[in-house]
């Protein structure tokens, strides 16, 4: 490939939030491989925060899947055609993205060999006998096989602003009367420890979710033991989950951020947390990019070696059921209540609140020993 002839590049990675974040090192790889090219990223509305301020992208083309009408579709195709893309790089490899690549008019359309509707693309990236690997590494493999540069230390990127930081500080001040830019927990006084704990009861797959009653039990134990302040994270449409938690705890020590933050605001709020308890989710991946945050990830039907947190300060809890990972959105072993999710799937129920509490308790006691010793 003659790179000088590549003026315009279309990167296609629509969803999900976590996968888009894990794809950002691949975006960097492509930029470093094509430093003078114009690069556009086609991405869904719910994930757009990841792309908008990304320093390796020149333009972001947003697809609003919820409100996508025929006129929007035609307008999008016109915009893509007008860009006269020399190549498209499809990092998702599903039928829908193959259609977008084909209709973009890109001369060379790169995609992995097992992509849905792959016949619409004309440059197949062969796995070459590679075994399954973490999504971040796989996206880098795809990028480097269509001209991207090698990245020595790949780090997922979500750029935030001063406005996002201000939102986080204001939220904590209004919720808990916490003022100033707080950092790590002060353990020098010993005894009760005021900590900030984020919890995420939400998730796109209901099979990934931890029981709400577990979050309630854990939150109560953290408040009683450490005078913890709890922040509930999650996206729009999941507010009923925080309502159940707030109704059960009835305390000013819990604040609801579900549906109230952008991805960038959520990251800034997560920066102020000491711990974050979450299932496999986009928020988990955002949290794992924060070095000062201890992320406790709860895995059931999915495989942490493929989609687990990449941060060095992360702990993964999973069970030993023979059927996991199953990668199923519906569990054949038991039903999921669609309203309040009091009973989740078996593999998630077997990760008990005590297991999570013990990790936090041990971590805090170790920190206290290190400070006082």
Q: What is the pLDDT of residues 75-118, one digit of tens each?
A: 888 999 999 999 999 999 999 999 999 999 999 999 999 999 99
Mean pLDDT over residues 29-44, rounded?
A: 97
Task: Please identify, among 95, 112, 144, the residue that sits at the C-terminal boundary of a domain.
Answer: 144
Q: What is the CATH number of the domain that holds 187?
A: 3.40.50.2000
Same domain, 254 and 108: no
Answer whether residue 3 shows pLDDT above 90: no
Answer whether residue 335 shows pLDDT above 70: no
Quote the pLDDT of residue 180. Answer: 59
Q: What is the pLDDT of residues 117-165, one digit of tens each?
A: 999 999 999 887 788 899 999 999 999 999 999 999 999 999 999 999 9
pTM for the full model?
0.92
How would you classify the pairing of strands 123-125 and 108-112? parallel
Average pLDDT, the chain: 90
Same domain, 323 and 276: yes
Q: Which residues 6+ apart lie within 8 Å of 251 measured at CB? A: 223
Same domain, 260 and 362: yes
Same domain, 316 and 210: yes
Quote the pLDDT of residue 171. Answer: 97
Same domain, 179 and 46: no
Same domain, 201 and 263: yes
Same domain, 228 and 342: yes
Same domain, 215 and 328: yes
Mean pLDDT over residues 227-250, rounded?
A: 96
Exposed/middle/buried for residue 3 (C-beta within 10 Å: 0-12, 13-18, 19+):
exposed
| pLDDT-derived band at 343, boundaries 50, 70, 90 | low
Same domain, 105 and 168: no
Structural domain of residue 27, as residue ranges? 3-144
Cis check for the bond before 335: say yes or no (omega within 30 of 0). Answer: no
The backbone region for 321, taken as left when phi is positive above 0, alpha when psi lies in -120 to 50, beta otherwise, is beta
φ, ψ at 114 (rounded to 5°): -100, 20
Answer whether residue 373 shows pLDDT above 50: no
Quote the pLDDT of residue 330. Answer: 86
Same domain, 130 and 171: no
Is residue 44 a part of any domain in this protein?
yes
Answer whether residue 250 shows pLDDT above 90: yes
Domain count within the chain: 2
Is residue 52 a part of any domain in this protein?
yes
Is residue 149 a part of any domain in this protein?
no
């Amino acid at each position: 490939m003659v790179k000088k002839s590549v003026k315009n590049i279309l990167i296609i990675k629509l969803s999900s939030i976590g996968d888009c974040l894990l794809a950002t090192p691949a975006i960097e790889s492509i930029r470093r491989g094509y430093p003078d090219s114009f690069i556009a990223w086609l991405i869904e509305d719910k994930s757009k925060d990841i792309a908008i301020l990304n320093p390796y992208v020149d333009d972001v083309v947003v697809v609003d899947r919820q409100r996508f009408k025929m006129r929007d579709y035609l307008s999008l195709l016109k915009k893509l055609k007008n860009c006269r893309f020399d190549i498209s790089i499809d990092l998702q490899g599903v039928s829908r993205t193959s259609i977008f690549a084909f209709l973009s008019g890109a001369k060379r359309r790169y995609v992995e060999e097992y992509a849905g509707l792959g016949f619409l693309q004309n440059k197949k990236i062969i796995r070459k006998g590679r075994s399954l690997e973490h999504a971040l590494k796989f996206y880098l493999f795809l990028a480097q096989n269509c001209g991207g540069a090698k990245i020595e230390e790949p780090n997922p990127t979500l750029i935030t602003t001063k406005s996002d930081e201000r939102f986080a500080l204001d939220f904590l001040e209004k919720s808990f009367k916490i003022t100033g830019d707080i950092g790590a927990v002060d353990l020098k006084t010993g005894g009760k420890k005021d900590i900030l704990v984020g919890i995420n009861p939400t998730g796109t797959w209901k099979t990934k979710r931890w029981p709400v009653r577990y979050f309630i039990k854990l939150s109560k134990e953290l408040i009683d033991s450490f005078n913890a302040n709890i922040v509930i994270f999650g996206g729009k449409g999941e507010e009923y989950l925080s309502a159940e938690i707030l109704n059960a705890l009835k305390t000013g020590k819990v604040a609801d951020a579900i549906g109230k933050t952008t991805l960038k605001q959520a990251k800034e709020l997560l920066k102020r947390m000491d711990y974050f308890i979450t299932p496999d989710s986009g928020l988990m991946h955002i949290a794992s990019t924060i070095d000062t945050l201890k992320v406790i990830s709860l895995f059931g039907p999915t495989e942490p070696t493929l989609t687990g947190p990449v941060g060095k300060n992360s702990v993964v809890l999973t069970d030993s059921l023979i059927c996991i990972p199953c990668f199923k959105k519906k569990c054949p072993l038991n039903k999921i209540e669609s309203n309040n999710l009091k009973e989740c799937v078996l593999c998630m129920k077997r990760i008990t609140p005590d297991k999570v509490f013990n990790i936090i308790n041990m971590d805090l006691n170790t920190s206290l020993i290190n400070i006082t010793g």
